[in-house]
Amino acid sequence: MTVIPFRRPPSRRHFTRPVEPPAALAGSAAAPNGSSADAAEDRRRMQQNFAVLALVVVLLMLGTWMIDRLIAYSRAMACIESGHRSCMKLKVDQVPR
């Protein structure tokens, strides 16, 4: 079996000007110290990140509370359906004597 290698000839095309990175990358590399606009944008982004973090924590807490209440409700309904009379836990403060 004969294997014929297909090699491409080297490119004769040379770039007339040097290749530059895209504008989005060139802007951050050109000003490593940052300007006041960049600092304000970073500050705003951090505030948004903290706000989203707080929202996620609140949603998790509400979700946990809601699941707990649904479990308690489900147990109470199962107790009532089975015919028991003392299904609810009562919180009664006893008066010290």
Q: Tens-of-pLDDT digits for all 97 residues of the chain?
A: 567 777 877 777 776 777 777 777 655 554 555 578 888 899 999 999 999 999 999 999 999 999 999 999 999 899 989 888 888 776 777 776 6
Domain membership of residue 66 (yes or no) is: yes
- Check residue 69 and give its pLDDT: 94
- Residue 1 has a pLDDT of 58
The answer as to whether 6 is a domain residue is no
The answer to whether residue 3 sits within a structural domain is no
Tell me the whole-structure pTM to 2 decimals.
0.50
pLDDT of residue 11: 73
Would residue 62 count as lying in a domain? Answer: yes
Tell me if 48 is assigned to some domain: yes
User: What per-residue confidence (pLDDT) applies to 21?
Assistant: 74
Angle formed at CA 56 by CA 50 and CA 62, multiple of 5 degrees: 135
Query: Has residue 87 been placed in a domain?
Result: no
Boundaries of domain holding 60: 41-81
CA pair distance 33, 22, nearest whole angstrom:
20
Instruction: Flag whether 60 is in a domain.
Output: yes
